[in-house]
Structure formats: structure tokens, C-alpha cells
Amino acid sequence: MTNQVFVVSAYMVIWAGLAVYLVALSRRQRSLARQVQALSEQLSRREE
Amino acid sequence: MMKRIVWLPAASAVLLPVAVGLVFFYAPEERTMGLVQKIFYFHLSLAGAAFLSFLVACGAGVAYLMKRERRWDALGAASVEVGVLFTSLVLVTGSLWGRPIWNTWWTWDPRLTTSLILWFIYAACLILRSSVDEEVKRATYTAVMAIVGFVDVPIVFLSARLFRSIHPTVLRSDSVGLEPAMVGTLLVSLAAVLLLWASLVRLRFSLLMQELALKDLQTRLE
């Protein structure tokens, strides 16, 4: 492998790692939003 | 309020491409290592941000044990998580840098070994955290592990100086050991990565606080 391949791979690993983490965070955020939605539905049912 | 939330990720989004541009089009090629040395700018910046993460986690751990406020636990947990991510990237980029230079993907050099131990300590902290349901216990364990684990950070930093190591040391007591253009590029890369680190820790912190608030509401409704 040439030096170019190592440099490109290293930078790709960095961006891929950060992207995976951001995707994981966005999934957690979506799951949190779903739970808030479920909770607000539960609350409105109780009020009725 | 909106400005306060957005400026950190916006600044890192601007500075990161600038740093990459400087790495490839401004910083000179190192004489002996050649092109592969360009990994160094982000490798070192990520390592610096990871150390900062563990310092913040240690400080948050001390604050939690003293005040027992959940925001310190959330800050510590967010810092540990981002620190583990950054340490993983440091280990992988270091391996990709080491292969063409040392002719091996991994060697049990003091710097590499202590860095791997650091990764294991904080990865274990995250595993422990995910395995405890009770909030106070979980926060106490995280705080203690974050404080104890921080002992390894100065050992990692000093390992290449104190022991016989093949890992290069850039920051020496008398000089930086780099050309001015390389120092400039390194500083911009470091600033970009630190801004990104701050954005990620802040994002994770607010997510953790929201999760805890939601759990409180669910418990009150049950």
C-alpha cells in the first residue's frame, strides 16, 4: 500500500467514526421524541 | 438562545474543512515520513481533545460526589462517551500511521500500551454505566471510575518521555519540534477538533438531561 492510501484511510476513519456517533445520537434523540409523544398522549387520555 | 446553541457546531463545521485544507495544501511534507505524516495533525488534535474529555469527566466526577447533582453526572457521562470515541479514533489513526513508518500495525510501546489501557478503562466505565439501572448508584460508579481512570492520562502523556519509546514527542520542554507552517496547521486543527468536541459533549449532555427528566415524568405518572 502506498502512503496515500494510509492517509486517505486515516481521514476516512475519522469522518466515518464521527458520522456513526452523530447517527447514534440522532437515533437516541428520535427515541426520546417518541417517548415524549407517548407520554403526552398518556397525559391527555388521563385528563379526558 | 438559538445563537448560543448553534455557534459551537457552526464554528467547528467552518473550521474543520479549513484545517483539512491546511493539512493537505499548506503544511509542508515532512522530510523522512513524507505524505503519511499528515495523519499527525488530526491524530494529535483528537488525542488532546480526548485528554480534555477525561479531565472534564474527572472534574465532573469530583463535583458529583461533593454536590450529588445529576447535571454533573450527565456532564461526566457525556465527556467519557466522547472521550472514548476520540481515543478509538486516535488508536486507529495511530495504527494507520505506524504501519508504513514502523512496518507494523501495533507494537507494545509504552505510549501505545498506556493509550490502549486508557481506552479500556473508560470503555469499561461506559459498560458499567449501561449495566446499572439505579440512578444514584450509576452516577457514583461513573464518578469514581472517571476519577480513578484519570490517573492514566498523565502516564500516557509522559510515557514517551519517561520510558524508552519509538513514539515521537512533539511538545518538548525547550521547543515544539515543528516548522512554523506545521505549527500553524496543528493549531487550527486543534481548534477545529476542540470545537467539535465541545459541540458533541454539549449535545450528549443535553440529551442525557432530557432522558433523565423524561424518566422522572414517567415515574411520577406511574
Model ipTM? 0.89
Reported confidence tier of residue B1, pLDDT bands at 50, 70, 90: very low
Query: Is B208 within the bounds of a domain?
Result: yes
Residue A5 touches partner B, C-beta closer than 8 Å: no
Query: Is B174 within the bounds of a domain?
Result: no
Reported confidence tier of residue B180, pLDDT bands at 50, 70, 90: confident
Tens digits of per-residue pLDDT, B47-104? 999 999 999 999 999 999 999 999 999 999 999 999 999 999 999 999 999 999 998 9
> What is d(CA A12, CA A14) in angstroms, rounded to the nearest whole number?
5
Query: Is B151 within the bounds of a domain?
Result: yes
Reported confidence tier of residue B4, pLDDT bands at 50, 70, 90: low
Option in B43, B93, B214 nearest A36 (CB): B214
Subunit contact B34:A4, Cβ cutoff 8 A: no
Q: Which of the two residues, B192 and B1, has the higher pLDDT score? A: B192
Reported confidence tier of residue B173, pLDDT bands at 50, 70, 90: low
How many folded domains does chain B comprise?
1
Residues of chain A in contact with residue B42, where contact means CB-CB under 8 angstroms, are: 10-11, 14
Task: Using the predicted structure, report yes or no on whether residue A21 has a pLDDT greater than 50.
Answer: yes
Query: Is B185 within the bounds of a domain?
Result: yes
Option in B35, B88, B92 nearest A4 (CB): B35
Query: Is B86 within the bounds of a domain?
Result: yes
Q: What is the pTM of this model?
A: 0.92
- Give which of B89, B85, B66, B64 is closest to B75, Cα–Cα: B64
Q: Report the pLDDT value the prediction gives residue A28, as an integer from 0 to 100.
A: 93
Task: Using the predicted structure, report yes or no on whether residue B172 has a pLDDT greater than 90.
Answer: no
Tens digits of per-residue pLDDT, B191-222? 999 999 999 999 999 999 999 999 888 888 77
Tens digits of per-residue pLDDT, B135-166? 999 999 999 999 999 999 999 999 888 887 77
Subunit contact A32:B35, Cβ cutoff 8 A: no
Q: Which of the two residues, B160 and B117, has the higher pLDDT score? A: B117
Query: Is B8 within the bounds of a domain?
Result: no
Task: Read off the DSSP letter of residue B32.
Answer: T
- Give which of B196, B188, B194, B191 is closest to B27, Cα–Cα: B188
Phi-psi region at B110: left, alpha or beta (left = phi > 0; alpha = psi -120 to 50): alpha
Task: Using the predicted structure, report yes or no on whether residue B170 has a pLDDT greater than 80.
Answer: no
Give every CB contact of residue B68 below 8 A, 6+ residues apart in sequence.
B136
Give every CB contact of residue B69 below 8 A, 6+ residues apart in sequence.
B63
Nearest CA in chain B to A32: B211
Query: Is B18 within the bounds of a domain?
Result: no
Q: Report the pLDDT value the prediction gives residue B171, as an integer from 0 to 100.
A: 65
Tens digits of per-residue pLDDT, A1-15? 688 899 999 999 999
- Give which of B137, B95, B133, B145 is closest to B115, Cα–Cα: B95
Q: Report the pLDDT value the prediction gives residue B2, as an integer from 0 to 100.
A: 47
> What is d(CA B25, CA B2) in angstroms, rounded to the nearest whole number?
35
Query: Is B30 within the bounds of a domain?
Result: no
The domain containing residue B72 runs over which residues?
A: 36-168+181-221
